[in-house]
Amino acid sequence: MYCWIFVVVVSSHAQSSKKEKHFLVCGDSKVLLVDYTNSRDSVPAIIWTWDAQQAKDLPEDYRLRKFGSVDDCKSVKGGRQILVSASSGAVALLKRKNGKVLFHANVPNAHSIELVPGNRVVAAASTAPAGNKIILFQIKNPEIPLHTDSLYSAHGLVWHRQNKSLFALGYDVLREYKLAEHHNLQLINQWTIPGIGGHDLQLSPDRRSLFVTEHNGCWLFDLKSHQFRKIDGFPDARNIKSLGQDKAGQFIYTIPEESWWTYHVSFSRPSRRFVFPGMKVYKARWAGK
């Protein structure tokens, strides 16, 4: 009697055909990195966590108070570093591998941070007695700001590498700056946004447009025509706190459920929703370059 055994061999190419996707989530004192591909249903597969309260390389005031309400997180340098801002009063640059704090600075009601050339960062300080401005810092010397410019309710920042421009979002305006000599930010353009309460600013995957969210909805700003238009195929809503899209066309976004926070991160095209119980989630970002 013969017994046949069939063995199915899965090639490494087939195994890797399901490309991994990661996204960042921030809220409370934490930043999480989630594996989208290997998560199950609505339960996120968290593969990395940074908690400011456990960051021994932060001064105590930053660790226990100034990073108590993290409101933005962005991966830079191919995902090797992460930018963090907190409305409770600080910004930071982290090393993804070990969570080491490479830079931190005091920024009143910080709502965004962006890496710019020359080993520098720009932070957005929203409404506060010493806020309503954008601030340029040298990473190696965070105690002394290089330059500031007033911007009421500063909320969003994007560096556009091809244009060599910094875009900044305020209460009702979108601005374009150039990095001038002597560490100055030179304002060269300004546009009135189609709404009030400008909140999130993100670059589109093709780098030709900016996603802009405000109190009543969200828009796409064409960097060539300088025109705003609604976003095709996106479920528009009020008070969207963060909005982004990957190269495959999938949107990631957050909408508050209670006051300014949510317990979920939502996706569209295709739709999906992850739950983060017990965490006051503010923003979520695709992680990558």
Determine the residue type at 241: K
Q: How far is CA 47 from CA 18, 33, 190, 193, in A?
A: 18, 6, 40, 37
Determine the residue type at 231: I
H or E segment at 103? strand 101-106
What integer pLDDT is reported at residue 24 of this predicted model?
Answer: 98
The DSSP bridge partners found for residue 228 are: 221
What integer pLDDT is reported at residue 288 of this predicted model?
Answer: 80
Q: Which mean pLDDT values do the consecutive 10-residue runs of the chain (289 residues) have?
A: 32 48 98 97 98 97 97 96 98 97 98 97 97 97 95 98 97 97 93 97 98 97 98 94 97 95 97 97 91
Q: Is 25 exposed, middle or buried (0-12, 13-18, 19+ CB in 10 A)?
A: buried
pTM of the shown model: 0.92
What integer pLDDT is reported at residue 18 of this predicted model?
Answer: 60
What integer pLDDT is reported at residue 181 of this predicted model?
Answer: 86
In this structure, how many other beta carbons lie within 10 angstroms of the beta carbon of residue 208? Answer: 15
Strand order in the sheet with 156-160: 156-160, 165-169, 173-180, 184-192
What integer pLDDT is reported at residue 6 of this predicted model?
Answer: 27
Alpha helices in the chain (DSSP H): 12-15, 60-61
Q: Is 47 left (phi over 0), alpha (psi -120 to 50) or beta?
A: alpha
Q: Is 183 exposed, middle or buried (0-12, 13-18, 19+ CB in 10 A)?
A: middle
Q: Which of 153, 150, 156, 187 is nearest to 171 (CA)?
A: 153
